[in-house]
Amino acid sequence: LAKTTQPISMDSYEGQEVNITCSHNNIATNDYITWYQQFPSQGPRFIIQGYKTKVTNEVASLFIPADRKSSTLSLPRVSLSDTAVYYCLVGDLYNQGGKLIFGQGTELSVKP
Amino acid sequence: DGGITQSPKYLFRKEGQNVTLSCEQNLNHDAMYWYRQDPGQGLRLIYYSQIVNDFQKGDIAEGYSVSREKKESFPLTVTSAQKNPTAFYLCASSRQGAYEQYFGPGTRLTVT
C-alpha cells in the first residue's frame, strides 16, 4: 500500500484559496487518490477522488501530475467552517478489500 | 434518511469488562468497517467485512471481535484482552469496491 506524506498543519484566512499537497512516491498503477475531511469528534467525510489530471466537484479540485507521485487538494475561498483535518489516501480499494490507510492528515486552521 | 448510526455516543467501562459497540446502516452497502482513532492520530482499521457472515482482520485486530450476521449490522466487541481500549471508534460502510466510505458519528469509549 502506498505511503503518503502531507504537511502536519496549515494556516489560512477566510476567502483565500488553500492548496494541500500530498506526496505518494510509490503509488501503483491501479491506485486511486482519495481525500477525506474530518471535523473534531466526527467521522471523516469523503471530499474527492481521482486517478490522473484534474478532478473538480462542488467542494474542491484535485490536481494530479502526469507522474502521479503527488497530488494537490485545492479548496477555493475557504471559510471558518473549513477548519478541519484533511487526509490523503492512496490505494486500489477494489483489490485491497476496501482497506483505506489513513495517515496523520493535515490540520487546516482558517482564521477570520 | 439513509445513513449509519452508532450507539452510544459515549461509553464508560471498568477495566476487565467486555463491551459491544453498535453499528447499523440502511444504505444497503455490502461492505462495513471498524476504525479506531487515538488523539491527534489518523484512523486505524480494526476489522472489515465485505459480505454477510464474512470478515477480515485489519491492522490492529488483537483484543477485538466482530460479527456480521445481517447486512445492516456490524457490532464490535472490545474485549478485556485489548490493552488500551480507550479511544474514538468509527464505523463505516461502502458499496463493494467503492472509494467513498460513509462514516457514522463515532463512539467514544473510556475504560478506567
Tell me what percent of the residues of chain B surpass a pLDDT of 90.
81
pLDDT tops 90 at residue A103: no
Averaged pLDDT for residues A25-53: 92
pLDDT tops 60 at residue B13: yes
Q: What is the pLDDT of residue B98?
A: 77
More confident residue, B1 or B50: B50
- Which chain B residue has the Cα nearest residue A98? B97
CA distance A34 to B11: 31
Q: What is the pLDDT of residue A2?
A: 65
Inter-CA distances, A21 with A57, A61, A63, A72, B32, Å: 18, 12, 9, 4, 29
From chain B residues 7-66, the ones with a CB under 8 A of any chain A CB are 31, 33, 35, 40-45, 48, 50, 56, 58
CA distance B80 to chain A (A): 25
pLDDT tops 70 at residue B78: yes
CA distance A86 to chain B (A): 10
pLDDT tops 60 at residue B86: yes
Kindly indicate the confidence band of residue A98, based on its pLDDT and cuts at 50, 70 and 90: low
DSSP letter for A33, please: E
CB pairs under 8 A between A and B: 61
Instruction: Count the Cβ atoms, other than its own, within 10 Å of residue B53.
Output: 10
Mutation choice for B interface testing from A88, A99, A104 by most B CBs within 10 A: A99
> Do B96 and B30 meet the contact criterion of CB atoms below 8 Å apart?
yes
